[in-house]
Amino acid sequence: MDSIIVTGNGPLNGQIPIAGAKNACLTLMPATLLSEEPLTLTNAPRLSDIKTMTALLQSLGAEVTQMQGGQVLAMSSHDINNHTADYDIVRKMRASILVLGPMLARDGHAVVSLPGGCAIGARPVDLHLMALEAMGAELDLREGYVHAKAPLGGLRGGMIDFPIASVGATENALMAATLAKGTTVIKNAAREPEIVDLADCLRKMGAQIDGDGTSTITIQGVDRLSGATHPVVTDRIELGTYMLAPAICGGEVELLGGRIDLVGAFCEKLDAAGVDVTETARGLMVKRRGDRVRAVDVVTEPFPGFPTDLQAQMMALLCTAEGTSVLEEKIFENRFMHAPELMRMGAKIDVHGGHATVTGVKRLKGAPVMATDLRASVSLILAGLAAEGETIVNRVYHLDRGYERVEEKLGNVGAKIERVSGT
């Protein structure tokens, strides 16, 4: 199993290109199941999760071809010959549940295993199922699989009112509703940029969608969708992660392709901590104003609030801040697993339920640490960049699910970082 070795090496300077969004791409790929015509995605990230979704789509009969080094995905679902998403693939990634809505909408039936993914909370799929039932689907859960059937004549438009805003459930409902008969209204819909990106792609395919980016989305079903070519939106989580690198190490780094509208609440916290973020012709420039950042309090919230997927990385920064910060995690109930690993590096962190109190220290110390999930793994790398001595991050297979070429991107701006293969 691979490990990454990071040695504190002072300020970082240069440019880091930001990839297309993993979470957007994993949502856009199942949209190919809605049409017999080709769907091509550009600016696709080159990640293990994309390979997993590719394998899942291919297992259903879709054709998926990677071009231009994997940054272009050419897909065609003209011959879907299998409607069972098997456990052996689905267990690797929660986004696999997103094939359920498209298959049900297009062909009227689907069998999908309950999914897996990072161990950061329960994250049930009940909201996905509630949305499909509102469109007339008949669902039966048995032996770890969702057996779904559409009523005679296909899914029907319906009123979906989510008790909480769910990104995945909104995406599944949105895709299914494009081919449902009549009008579907999704209330308390998620507002994330990935939702807007999906809606943009579906509109290119011929869908009639209004209100994406707000809490109420209205979809008028159509008889069929066509093919399209669509660029994957910039990955706001990768963007925020690399914005923290010069914040924690010093220096000045330009994030190519970065957009403030994708990370507005995050930028507000960086400014309060003493980090300048300015727009450039090609992205965003990030520079720390002083020798150390200031403590700030953070509460994770659905978009446009502070993203839960940047909480672990922000904690790494605040471990070296002047003063005491409080981080409140309101999205997932088990997302402070990185705290004990940061404490191995000398961080002062006290976790009580959904709150973590972080008292900054002047310098962290390198140590062997273990990644517990995707975002935790990169938070430990960030901490290692600012630590004295060598940090060895083990179990980095989590990292490869969400970040492409981390060593190359950080190494190009002056970080001392290398990957070593395990035995």
pLDDT tens profile 30-45: 999 999 999 999 999 9
Structural domain that includes position 137: 22-231
Confidence of residue 117 (pLDDT cuts 50, 70, 90): very low
Task: Tally the domains of the chain.
Answer: 2
Confidence of residue 400 (pLDDT cuts 50, 70, 90): confident
260 is in an annotated binding site: no
319 & 197 share domain: no
Predicted confidence (pLDDT) per residue in 300-320, tens digit: 999 999 999 999 999 999 999
23 is in an annotated binding site: yes
Residue position matching structure tokens 């049930």: 124
44 & 11 share domain: no
Residues 331 and 301 sit within 8 Å (Cβ to Cβ): yes
294 is in an annotated binding site: no
129 & 278 share domain: no
Residue 119 has what pLDDT? 39
179 & 104 share domain: yes
22 is in an annotated binding site: yes
Query: Is 253's pLDDT higher than 80?
Result: yes
39 & 167 share domain: yes
216 & 295 share domain: no
Whether 118 is a known active-site residue: answer: yes
164 & 240 share domain: no
- C-alpha angle with apex 311: 347 to 191, nearest 5 degrees? 175
Catalytic residue among 118, 249, 267, 319: 118
419 is in an annotated binding site: no
179 & 76 share domain: yes
Residue 124 has what pLDDT? 66
123 is in an annotated binding site: yes
Residue 423 has what pLDDT? 57
200 & 338 share domain: no
Residue 421 has what pLDDT? 87
287 & 404 share domain: yes
124 is in an annotated binding site: yes
Query: Is 276's pLDDT higher than 60?
Result: yes
Length of the chain: 423
CATH code for the domain of 221: 3.65.10.10
Confidence of residue 333 (pLDDT cuts 50, 70, 90): low
Predicted confidence (pLDDT) per residue in 133-144, tens digit: 999 999 999 888
Residue 152 has what pLDDT? 94
Of the candidates 231, 265, 289, which is a domain's last residue? 231
Can you tell me the distance from the alpha carbon of 38 to that of 267, in angstroms, rounded to the nearest whole number?
38
Of the candidates 231, 253, 278, which is a domain's last residue? 231
344 & 380 share domain: yes
309 is in an annotated binding site: yes
Mean pLDDT of 396-407: 88
Of the candidates 202, 231, 260, which is a domain's last residue? 231
Residue 60 has what pLDDT? 98
